[in-house]
Amino acid sequence: MSFSRVSLFHYDVVRELCNTCRNESFHFVPIGAADPAPTRCKCGEDRKLADTSNTSIIRLVTKPGGEMVVVPVIAR
């Protein structure tokens, strides 16, 4: 099943969602690449790929170590 992505420069942003604890995770995927395999959440359940839209992302934040993080709207 294919889910919508948000194009961002040379990458798409793919969203994973845990249906148990509602924890979200975002991944940068090269445009046109296959969807990543879902990962396991901290609560122990598998995350599922979920739809992503322009309104589901508020900003990108760069941490002091240089890691870039997508901050979702719900994390205000």
β 11-17/24-30 pair status: antiparallel
Asked whether residue 67 is domain-assigned, the answer is: yes
Asked whether residue 59 is domain-assigned, the answer is: yes
pTM of the model: 0.57
Question: pLDDT for 3-31, tens place per residue?
Answer: 777 665 677 878 888 888 888 888 888 88
For the chain, the domain total comes to 1
Supply the range of the domain harboring residue 28: 6-75
Asked whether residue 1 is domain-assigned, the answer is: no
pLDDT band at 75 (very low <50, low <70, confident <90, very high): very low
42 has pLDDT over 80: yes
